[in-house]
Structure 1
Amino acid sequence: MSLVIYRRGNIWHYRGTIAHRRLRGSTHTADKEIAERIAAKTEATEWKRELYGPEAVLTFSQAVSLYLDAQKSDRFLLKLVSYWKDTLVRSINSGKVRQAAVALYPDASAVTRNRHVIVPTQAVINHAASMDLCRHLKVKRFPVETKAKEPATWEWVQKFMAHANPHLGALCCFMFLTGARISEAVNVRWKDLDLTSGTALIRQSKVRTERKAHMPTVLVEAIGGILSNREPTSKVFKYSSLYSAKWPWRAAVQRAGIKPLTFHSCRHGFATSMLHKGVDPITVAKLGGWKSAQHVFATYGHAMDDETLADRIVEI
């Protein structure tokens, strides 16, 4: 039975059964001619789905809706939906995704193109593929020149703290001893801390989960030395974002006469120090909020510059 249209108020709706599926919906128009076209298009789409499978009609916009319905992250999706719109997923291939990355971010680095276009596009389509609605998509990423990241050490952190204001010094110490990202650290509120038990609730911005971190005594003391409004919802380290902490950070580094390391060097130093102390990558990943032990080992597993390490094998 074909779809028929009928009026409800001023708006035309359609209903009927196509390929044993009961369909009902609004055309969102008061124009009968346009409503008939919409109903005919809907009917044709359903027959196409029935004859050629869901991949024949699945659009990128629909795949995004399914992705978000599954409570997945919406990071970077706005530009992608605007770009792909109702493009059929089956027509999106590796080459077209790479072209989209260049078109959307013409002056960006390979890292940005990979993160903002290739990764989320793959995630959306492969989620639909997991529902048997289309085929999986593999996209070759743009080559990225990896640079060796230098981790902060406890000695570096101590020198930094000695030449920074209490807020900034405590912020540096917090990132180094908990593995928090700068975006996570500047958003810690007083209600998230328990100075008595030495714990902190960290809302992980990148993976959108929470974790509870242990704060060593030296960190508790550093935070205790901060003189500020301790209302539960007030920020502990006073900085509104990484940008407001950027220049004070550089000034403190210069005063201390130490290497100009970044905020992330503290998180990097947390992982590296843990690994060098013999903590296994799985535990490090859990404590620092990394997605996998493999990522921790590959990114932070630096070799130790000590030719006498073999002596440890026979130490009692």
Structure 2
Amino acid sequence: MPLKLYKRGKVWWISGSVHGQAVRESARTEQKEVAEAIRIKKEAELVSDAVFGPKATRTFAQAVDSYWKAGGDKRYTGSMYDDGTKDGLLGHFYDTPLKDIKQDDLDEVARTIYPTALPETRNRQCYTPFIAVWNHAVRNGWAEMRLWSRPKKPKGTNVVRLAKRRAGTFPVDYEHAAKFIAAMSPGPATLMTALFYTGMRPIEIFALDAAEVNVAGRWITLTKTKTGEPRGIPMHEFLVPIFESLLKRNSLAEDPRLFRTPQGEPYGTIVTDEEGKGGGGLKTAINGARRRSGIKDIAPYTGRHSCSTGLVVAGVHPHIKDQILGHAADDMSRHYTNVPQAPLIEAINKLPVPELWRSLPWMDNPLEWSGRFAEGMGKRNDLERQKA
């Protein structure tokens, strides 16, 4: 008989038999429309199995789901998110029938996901989880046993190894950065924007006090730095409306730190330039933007490296660049820490501002938008421009 829906408590269940295949399972939803869609899909799968056999119809996503339910390791198989996006192996092979996946497909996916990784890394983080899912499918009768080739470690003493560059240890183009910032929630996006247009270290901007910002003079005076020495930083004209907005925060009397998380909390001070670690409270925002944008090479320290390179490309004198970044520490630069210097302000304004960055909706009022979240975050998605 066809599959039927029935309710058990608040959750819908599916029950019935199709071509001799009995089903009794939870749809895992309280919404009848969703349960009905699941029922229809399940029934179609059973019909296909009966006509063509499961080896002809099972997809990689179905194999992964079964593997997870059996207790398989989820670490490198990829993930499904609430906004419908997928990553890793699951993102690449999702609806692909198992029968259609060949060795060349697996090799190409490994190169795509881990383009600069060593063979042993690709083997551990791509081939091993894929083969584990495949072997599980074989045990279920969904796929044929196959001997998959793994990447081989280069042999010989003359092999040159290219180490993977960690995000945050090299600069990126500002157009590229703009696409990443556009995928962030306004709060962390505002902070990252300041990093790209001041060259400050993340730990310095986390501790930035309202009293250290002189918008009229286009100048920032840092009293808390990595070296312990105070220094002055010119303010790019693009940052003026950002700082003007943040300086209106009502809670500055209790805590003068300008930059806050979307929840209104100050950022932490644990920072690293290693991908996926630390970030002073930015880790979640960084990882979310990587997932939504597909851009993996940006981290909190990327702004400092990009600012330095951008000044060089713009033809800024090395001494001026070093003063902006805090590399120069002669007695004269310390003496003028609190005094806005026209050459430095002129230099910082040579950094390019992509139109995409300028047109981000939160630029109109960063403080008002600071508690909102980026697209793709479920019910908290409220980043669309409000209609006048």
Common topology (TM > 0.5): no
TM-score under structure 1 length normalisation: 0.42
Larger RCO, structures 1/2 (Cα 8 Å, 6+ apart): 2
Q: If each structure's helix is expressed as a fraction of its own residues, which one has the higher value?
A: 1
**Normalised TM-score (structure 2):** 0.35
